[in-house]
Amino acid sequence: MLFYTVLFTPLLGIILFSFIRRARWAVSINLLVSTVNFIAMIVWLVRWQTTPSFFILHAHEQLYLDALGLIGWTLTTFIGMTTALFSYGYMLQNLKERRITLKRLQLYHLFYQSFIFSLLIAFSANNIGLLWVAIEGATLATVLLVSLYRTPEAVEAAWKYFIICIVGIALALFGTILVYFAAQTSLDPSHAILWHSLAAQAKTLNPSIMILAFVFLFVGYGTKVGLVPFHFWLPDAYSESPGPVAALLSGLLLNVALYALLRFQILTNLSLHNGLANQLMIIFGLLSFVFASFTLHHQQNIKRMFSYSSIEHVGVMTFAFGIGNTIAILSGLFYLIIHALIKSAIFTTVGNVMHLTHTQKIEKIRGILKLNPWVGWLLIAALFAIAGAPPFGLFIGEIGIFLATLQTYPYLAIILGVGFLIVFAALLRYMQSMTLGNPEKVSAPSIAKINLVPAGLHLLIVLILGLYMPPFFMQILKQASSLFTGQ
């Protein structure tokens, strides 16, 4: 029952928003719905911890939750809540500055909750067709959020995002059909589309079809992840969308696409035994990482800079899952969680920075520490965290992935290590120029403390996870990684 409470709370929000006409009510209800959603999730987790069963089937086996999906659910509800808290002040401010109309605010909340709902469905879908429908739904829900400001730039970014991603995702649908086809000989039609029966019977799937299917799925969901040859939409979409939307896109949408890719990587590996899926992931992960870490160095726009950082990190994650031994998978999952938390913290902080300076240009952002010490320190902490500096959690993930690479492909570890240093240098340089020195203007608009809470909370969790790993958390990670090794 609690399962459905978590799943359908956003839907309740969608219904409520059709009746609300007042701005302050709408933002409050958005926050309320997201908070209820997260609390339900926590209650469910606590109750579930007492009787841990890692496979939960619902709704005639169409929905299914294992440790991997659980990570997705927890991240979605948590980031959904903190971003709603941030967007409370942010959207009211936008309304006051007349950047958006009341009608558009309504649209924003409607799509906000539809997006969260699609993600929860995607993370718990056992039916691989439903997984596709949910991810397409998440894409469609975010398109008009990207173009919320209706400036020519925002419309252009949203159009690129829309056309590239729906064509990409269409290819993933073709791949999904091929997987369904590959199982036709060994499973009856109603089970051939369910992930858990596919995984149980993976050895009987036709390997030559699975190769073709995985290539299409990789290109399709890889486009959504933002892997390098298909990444063009990503910096545009992140840089033109409103602050909370950028936080949602980088913190959640990226994860759900990677999650779908991982599901099919597991199936393909079980079916093929030759590691072809892993090799594809290593090659394109490393390519994205190297490309993005060099591109990071000459950025003029702060949001574009951080979107290249997203491409870089997603490259590392894809690479780690491609390496495929237990340390790499564990570190990859840990990395994924930490990155989602830091990146959404960063985009909310950047929203605050832009409120102070009214510009996205890095060279015009000076002396944030003097303008507003709170925002300044948050930005410094976030930049250290995303660069992978200890004691923040990302450091542990990077070390784990580096060690796993050293065990399996020692030569690639050199590339990885040098890449980490290049990224670190770039981020350190940006941090110095943005936070230190004297600001261009002496006075800046004040920022409500409540707008700083989401980023602060995220970074605190990241810091704690860098120093201490709760046993329950470790247990979930281990369960999730055991899916990959097929034990």
Partner 1 sequence: MMNIDAIQLLLSALLLLTTFILLIQRRVDSMIYTYAWQSAFLSLATLSASFVTPYQWDLFFSALLIFALKVIFIPWFLRYLSHRLSSTKSSDNPTSLVARPFLLSMIASALVLFSYNLTNSLRTSTQLFSSNAIAIALSIILLGMLLIITHRKAVSHALGFMVIENGIFFAALILTRGMPMKIELGIAFDVLVAIILFGVFFFHLNTGIDSLDVDSLNRLREGAE
Are the C-beta atoms of 79 and 341 separated by less than 8 Å? yes
Pairwise CA distance, residues 358 & 97, whole Å: 12
Which residue lies nearer to partner 1 by CB, 35 or 62? 62
| Alpha-carbon dihedral 189, 191, 193, 198, rounded to 10 degrees | -120
Pairwise CA distance, residues 416 & 398, whole Å: 9
Which residue from 324, 296, 486 is spatially nearest to 412, judged by alpha carbons? 324
Report which residue type is found at 20: I
Kindly indicate which of the ranges 83-91, 152-160, 413-421, 475-483 contains the residues binding partner 1, using the contact rule CB under 8 A. Answer: 152-160
For partner 1, what does the binding mask look like between residues 45 and 74, x meaning CB under 8 A? -----------------x------------
Please classify residue 286 by burial: count the beta carbons closer than 10 Å to its beta carbon, then call 0-12 exposed, 13-18 middle and 19+ buried.
buried
Q: Is 124 helix (H, G, I), strand (E, B) or coil?
A: helix
**Interacting positions 284-303 with partner 1 (CB under 8 A):** 295, 298, 300
Residue 52 vs residues 48, 55, 121, 472: alpha-carbon distances, Å: 6, 9, 21, 10
Which residue lies nearer to partner 1 by CB, 96 or 298? 298
Pairwise CA distance, residues 289 & 283, whole Å: 10
Which residue lies nearer to partner 1 by CB, 178 or 386? 178
Pairwise CA distance, residues 68 & 333, whole Å: 9
Supply φ then ψ for residue 101, to 5 degrees: -95, 170
- Candidates 153, 229, 274, 437; binder of partner 1 (CB under 8 A) is 153
Work out how close the CB of 109 gets to partner 1 at its nearest, in angstroms, rounded to a whole number: 18
Kindly indicate which of the ranges 71-79, 89-97, 164-172, 441-449 contains the residues binding partner 1, using the contact rule CB under 8 A. Answer: 164-172
**Interacting positions 168-207 with partner 1 (CB under 8 A):** 170-171, 173-174, 177-178, 180-181, 184-185, 189-190, 192-193, 206
Which residue lies nearer to partner 1 by CB, 88 or 221? 221
Kindly indicate which of the ranges 209-217, 262-270, 364-372, 469-477 contains the residues binding partner 1, using the contact rule CB under 8 A. Answer: 209-217
Which residue lies nearer to partner 1 by CB, 27 or 277? 277
Contacts with partner 1 by CB under 8 A lie at 62, 127, 129-130, 132-133, 136-137, 140, 143-144, 147, 150-153, 155-160, 162-163, 166-167, 170-171, 173-174, 177-178, 180-181, 184-185, 189-190, 192-193, 206, 208-209, 211-212, 236, 239-240, 295, 298, 300
